[in-house]
C-alpha cells in the first residue's frame, strides 16, 4: 500500500540522491586539505565554479522530474524568482569590486614600469604611488557592503515551503534548499573577503537529515573559524596580501638607496613585486570570468522559467503566475 500522494518512487529517489551526492562532494572539495583555511583567489574561483555546477544540476533536475511549470506552486516561483534577482545583484556587486581592485593594480604596474625604465629620479614618488594604492584597496565598495542585507533576504527564504501530496515537488524543494544553502555560504564568504571583515559572517546549521549536512557543516565551521581569527584588514585575500608585503618591502629599500638600479636588493624587490602583481591581476581576471559564468547560468535559468510560463496557456495557470509573466 502506498501513502496517498506522498510516495517517492525509486526513480525520484535516484535523481535526488545523485543531486545530493554531487552537492556533498562539492563541499568536500572546498574543505582545506590540512584543515587550515587560506583565502586565495584559486579557492574563490573553485567555490564559484562549483556553485555554477550545482545551479546547472538544479536545471537538469527540473527537466528530469518532468514537472510542468504550470504545476509549480506560486510560492515556489516567488522564492525562485526572488532568489535569482538577489543573486544577480550580488554578482554585479562582486564584479564591480573585482574591477575596482584591478584598476588599483594599474598604480602598481605604472610604478614598476617607471622603476624598470629608471624614470623615477626621486624615490619620494614611489612612496606617493604606493600610498595611493593602499588608500585605493582600503576604501570600501558600498555595493559589496550592501550585499549583507541581500544575503539576509536569501537566508530568510532558505527554508523549504511546505509541500502537500507532491512527491516531485518535495524532491524539487529539497534540491532547491541545497542550492540556496551553497549560494548563501559562498556569497557570504566572498563578502567577508572583499570587505576584510567578519562582522556579517554567520553560521547556518543544516539538519543531519540531509546527506550532505556533515560535509557542509564541517566546511562552514573550518572556514568561518579561520576568517574570524583574521583581524580586520584591507588585505584578506592571500595574493593581495603578498603584493602588500612586497610593496612595503620595496618602500623600505627605497629609503636606503639613492638611485634605481644601483642596488641588487632593490632590483630583487622590484622583481618580486612585479611577479606578485602579475599573479594577482591574472587571478582577478579568472575570477571575473567565473563570476560572469555564474551570472549567465542564473540569468538563463530565470529566463527559462518565465519563458515556460509564457508558453503555457493562460487558462492553465493561476492569476498570480499571469502577473509574473507580465512583469
User: Which tens digits make up the pLDDT trace of 62-78?
Assistant: 889 887 777 787 888 88
Q: Which of the residue ranges 46-50, 189-193, 321-325 has the most confident prediction, judged by mean pLDDT?
A: 46-50
Residue 325, in any domain of the structure: no
Going by pLDDT thresholds of 50, 70 and 90, the confidence category of residue 234 is low
- The closest of 79, 74, 71 to 160, measured between CA atoms, is 79
Number of domains in the chain: 1
Residue 187, in any domain of the structure: yes
For residue range 266-305, list pLDDT tens digits in order: 888 889 999 999 999 999 999 999 999 999 999 998 888 8
Residue 13, in any domain of the structure: no
Residue 49's contacts (CB-CB under 8 Å, 6 or more residues apart) are 290, 293
Question: What is the longest distance spanned by two Cα atoms in the chain?
Answer: 90
Region 20-38 average pLDDT: 90
pLDDT at residue number 75:
82
Residue 112, in any domain of the structure: yes
Q: Looking at the predicted structure, is the pLDDT value of residue 321 above 80?
A: no
pLDDT at residue number 118:
62
Region 256-262 average pLDDT: 60
Model confidence, pTM: 0.89
Take residue 84 and report the three cell numbers written for it. Answer: 535569482
Comparing 198 with 135, the larger pLDDT belongs to: 135
Residue 198, in any domain of the structure: yes
Comparing 118 with 125, the larger pLDDT belongs to: 125
Say if residues 238 and 50 touch (Cβ distance below 8 Å).
no
Say if residues 94 and 291 touch (Cβ distance below 8 Å).
yes
Comparing 320 with 68, the larger pLDDT belongs to: 68
DSSP-derived letter for residue 121 is S
Range of the domain at 284: 18-295
Going by pLDDT thresholds of 50, 70 and 90, the confidence category of residue 93 is very high
Residue 204, in any domain of the structure: yes
Residue 38, in any domain of the structure: yes
Residue 263, in any domain of the structure: yes
Going by pLDDT thresholds of 50, 70 and 90, the confidence category of residue 235 is low
User: What's the mean per-residue pLDDT of the chain?
Assistant: 85
Amino acid at each position: 500500500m502506498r501513502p496517498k500522494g506522498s510516495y517517492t518512487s525509486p526513480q525520484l529517489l535516484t535523481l535526488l540522491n545523485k543531486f545530493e551526492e554531487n552537492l556533498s562532494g562539492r563541499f568536500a572539495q572546498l574543505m582545506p586539505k590540512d584543515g587550515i583555511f587560506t583565502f586565495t583567489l584559486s579557492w574563490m574561483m573553485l567555490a564559484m565554479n562549483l556553485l555554477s555546477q550545482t545551479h546547472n544540476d538544479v536545471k537538469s533536475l527540473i527537466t528530469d522530474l518532468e514537472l510542468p511549470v504550470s504545476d509549480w506552486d506560486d510560492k515556489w516561483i516567488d522564492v525562485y524568482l526572488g532568489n535569482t534577482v538577489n543573486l544577480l545583484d550580488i554578482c554585479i556587486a562582486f564584479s564591480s569590486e573585482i574591477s575596482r581592485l584591478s584598476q588599483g593594480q594599474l598604480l602598481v604596474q605604472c610604478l614598476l614600469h617607471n622603476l624598470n625604465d629608471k624614470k623615477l629620479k626621486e624615490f619620494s614618488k614611489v612612496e606617493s604611488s604606493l600610498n595611493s594604492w593602499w588608500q585605493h584597496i582600503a576604501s570600501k565598495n558600498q555595493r559589496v557592503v550592501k550585499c549583507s542585507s541581500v544575503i539576509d533576504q536569501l537566508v530568510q527564504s532558505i527554508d523549504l515551503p511546505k509541500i502537500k501530496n507532491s512527491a516531485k515537488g518535495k524532491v524539487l524543494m529539497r534540491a532547491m534548499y541545497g542550492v540556496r544553502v551553497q549560494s548563501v555560504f559562498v556569497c557570504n564568504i566572498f563578502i567577508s573577503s572583499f570587505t576584510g571583515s567578519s562582522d556579517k559572517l554567520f553560521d547556518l546549521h543544516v539538519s543531519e537529515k540531509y546527506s550532505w549536512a556533515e560535509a557542509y557543516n564541517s566546511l562552514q565551521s573550518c572556514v568561518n573559524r579561520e576568517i574570524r581569527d583574521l583581524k580586520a584588514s584591507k588585505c584578506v585575500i592571500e595574493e593581495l596580501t603578498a603584493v602588500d608585503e612586497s610593496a612595503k618591502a620595496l618602500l623600505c629599500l627605497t629609503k636606503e638607496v639613492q638611485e634605481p638600479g644601483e642596488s641588487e636588493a632593490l632590483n630583487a624587490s622590484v622583481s618580486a613585486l612585479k611577479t606578485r602583481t602579475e599573479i594577482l591581476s591574472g587571478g582577478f581576471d579568472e575570477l571575473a570570468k567565473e563570476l560572469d559564468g555564474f551570472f549567465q547560468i542564473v540569468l538563463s535559468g530565470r529566463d527559462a522559467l518565465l519563458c515556460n510560463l509564457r508558453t503555457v496557456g493562460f487558462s492553465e495557470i493561476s492569476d498570480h503566475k499571469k502577473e509574473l509573466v507580465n512583469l
